[in-house]
Amino acid sequence: MNGAQALIRTLVDAGVDVCFANPGTSEMHFVAALDDVPGMRGVLTLFEGVATGAADGWARMTGRPAATLLHLGPGLGNGLANLHNARRGRTPVVNVVGDHARSHKRLDAPLESDVDSLAGTVSGWVRRTLAPEDVGADAADAVAAAGRGQVATLVLPADVSWSDGAAVAGPPPPWSRPVPPQHRVDEVAAVLASGEPVVLLLGGDVLAGEDGQLAASAVAGATGVRLLAETFPARWVRGAGLPDIGKLPYPPEVAMKSLAGTRHLVLAGAVPPVHFFGYPGVPGTPVPADCSVHVLSEPGEDGVAALRALAELAAPGAAPQPVEASRPELPAGRLTPRAVSAVVGALLPERAVVVDEAITSGVGIAELTSGAPRHDWLSLTGGAIGDGLPMAVGAAVACPDRPVLVLQADGSAMYTLQALWTMAREQLDVTVVLYDNGSYAILQGELARVGATGGGERAGQLLDIGGPALDFVALATGTGVPATRAETVEELADQLRTAFREPGPHLVQAVLRPAG
């Protein structure tokens, strides 16, 4: 058995049974071995950022790592931004990065680079397999490391792949999140009893399922603690029947207002909030200076168990307060960001997976979908734009029986547009709402927010992507994805209904700017 075969069999035995791949010469034996190991599904992408973002989306929906197959340092580099998002979302990913054969490494061939250092910038675990007999065990270790909620990168020399003498390793032992100690629960219960204003900030595993949210809601009903969700949850199960939880807002001034007066901030699966960027004269965090921070559970721990324990102690017998099913009325006329949100709220299918890279265009979207049928919401965890379309690929591969809806801003869509081709190739049931505002709108706000003077013509040109206007209908069609253009609410609603009804991918370009 050669190294590639042992690697793939080990991965499959450990539950890693899909590989988002962008192979090159050094990965040819891995590719060939796919024919020997039918349990592994290879999904081709046309750019590594699609492969890594798809792995992110797949793992968010399955809870298990997917593999990526990347070509040397430059391939890993192309995939780095979405690995950053995975790292920030604590998503498990197993990267297999092909490298030169061991004898070739010292020759400094054109594609030679420091793969290991590069991998270290996004990975919680990095190993270079040194011999074919190690590859099985190394792969099992990679899966184990990824399972802790991190990116694991296995660097695989080409000759380790092609050499015989490798063996399959058994799957790593099962692992589950540690339960936070009882004294933290006691401390938080005391805080809740203090009568002072408390915010309970939910994140990570708590938002990814129902039970933690329901327990938190029961606590809130009994104690008056205010619930907030972290700003960019990796996965958020929400909709009718679950509590209506507001998000901590992104803009620093709004986030500070949201937490003003809070005396105690309790974290359940979330990290202490900080602003996305530093701004002149603004504190780095929205947490008031006189607010104490209490950790009920850290992101890697079992926050659901901690919230259940808290509910037992601080709100015995209390019931959660679920939101009733409701949908906004369809508006009419011109498309605005809020009108798009209302259309989404009105039409969101049952059991949808929503991938949210709407950036500035998602006005009111949380509120307008809070009573929609139960759905999952995936956010841009690390701020590295270009995760939306790739994550949708991964989510759709993970959940072939569920509709995937991508809320996609135009500027960030252009980062990884190649994902559309994989949607067409695999006939994934993905609907893309492409918000076309013709600009890096967020940066126009940020330019003002950082207090940059000027904002003159030359600066403005670097924030304007409307000249020439991007025709996303043509771009999508060019990759094999059927696409339409909507300029009114009625057109958008009609086109979305069609997209939701028909199998396979669709893109709707929602034109938000005034006709020129």
Q: Within positions 331 to 390, which residues make up the interface with a copy of itself, using CB under 8 A?
A: 381-384, 386
CA atoms within 13 A on the CB side of 109: 11
**Which residue is listed with tokens 């009920």?**
296
Q: Based on CB atoms, which residue is closest to a copy of itself, 268 or 476?
A: 476
Report d(CA 380, CA 188) in Å as an integer.
30
DSSP H or E stretch at residue 290: none
Number of helices (H), then strands (E), belonging to the chain: the values are: 21, 18
Site for a copy of itself in 211-240 (CB under 8 A): 232
Q: 187 or 464: whose CB is closer to a copy of itself? A: 464
Q: Pick out residues in 403-422 that bind a copy of itself (CB under 8 A).
A: 411, 414-415, 417-418, 421
CB of 397 closer than 8 Å to CB of 426: yes
Candidate segments 240-248, 307-315, 389-397, 451-459, binder of a copy of itself by CB under 8 A = 451-459
**Of these, 21, 228, 399, 492, which contacts a copy of itself (CB under 8 A)?**
21
Task: Show contacts of 369-372: CB within 8 Å, 24+ apart.
Answer: 369/238, 369/239, 369/341, 369/344, 369/345, 370/238, 370/239, 370/244, 370/323, 371/239, 371/240, 371/244, 371/323, 371/324, 371/325, 371/326, 371/327, 371/345, 372/239, 372/240, 372/325, 372/327, 372/345, 372/348
Q: Check residue 505 for interaction with a copy of itself (CB under 8 A).
A: no
Q: Which is nearer to a copy of itself, 24 or 241 (CB)?
A: 24
Residue 42 beta carbon to a copy of itself: minimum distance, rounded to whole angstroms:
5
Q: Judge contact between 370 and 244, C-beta under 8 A.
A: yes
By CB under 8 A, the count of residues binding a copy of itself is 104
| Residues 166-195 interacting with a copy of itself (rule: CB under 8 A) | none
131 binds a copy of itself (CB under 8 A): no
| DSSP conformation class of 150 | S
By CB under 8 A, residue 458 contacts a copy of itself = yes
Of 188 and 473, nearer to a copy of itself (C-beta) is 473
Among the listed residues 117, 182, 194, 326, the single contact to a copy of itself using CB under 8 A: 117
Q: Any residues with CB less than 8 A from the CB of 501 and at least 6 apart, and which? A: none
- If binding is defined by CB under 8 A, does position 165 make contact with a copy of itself? no
- Residue with Cβ nearer a copy of itself (103 or 182): 103
Verify binding: residue 503, a copy of itself, rule CB under 8 A: no
Residue 121 is a binding residue for a copy of itself (CB under 8 A): yes
Q: Which two tokens stand for residue 353?
A: 């997976």
Of 3, 7, 13, 26, the one binding a copy of itself (CB under 8 A) is 26
DSSP secondary-structure letter at 134?
A: G
Closer of 176 and 461 to a copy of itself (Cβ): 461
Q: Does 486 bind a copy of itself (CB under 8 A)?
A: no
At closest approach, how far in Å is the CB of 382 from a copy of itself?
5
66-71 and 93-99 beta bridge pairing? parallel
95 strand-pairing partners: 68, 153
* Distance (Å, whole) CA 139 – CA 96: 9
With residues binned 3-state (H G I as helix, E B as strand, rest as coil), the percentages for the chain, rounded to 5, are 40, 20, 40
Q: Does 459 bind a copy of itself (CB under 8 A)?
A: yes
CB neighbour class for 404 (10 Å; exposed up to 12, middle 13-18, buried from 19): buried
Site for a copy of itself in 429-448 (CB under 8 A): 442-443, 446-447
With respect to a copy of itself, which residue has the nearer C-beta, 224 or 466? Answer: 466
Site pattern 53..92 for a copy of itself (x: CB under 8 A): --------------------xxx-xx-xx--x---x----
CA distance 24 to 21: 10
Q: Does 36 bind a copy of itself (CB under 8 A)?
A: yes
Task: Give per-residue burial for 258-292: e unless 16+ CB within 10 Å, then b.
Answer: bbeebebbbbbbbeebebeeeeeebeebbbbeebe
- Stretch binding a copy of itself (CB under 8 A), from 34-42, 303-311, 341-349, 394-402: 34-42
Q: Shortest gap between Cβ of 376 and a copy of itself (angstroms)?
A: 20
C-alpha span between 342 and 328 (Å, rounded): 6
Helix axes 303-314, 182-192, angle to 10 degrees: 50
- Nearest approach in angstroms of CB 248 to a copy of itself is 12
Applying the rule CB under 8 A, the residues between 273 and 292 that interact with a copy of itself are: 274-280, 284-285
Residue 40 CB, nearest approach to a copy of itself (Å): 9
Between 117 and 326, name the residue whose CB sits nearer to a copy of itself: 117
Of positions 12, 291, 424, 489, contacts a copy of itself by CB under 8 A: 424
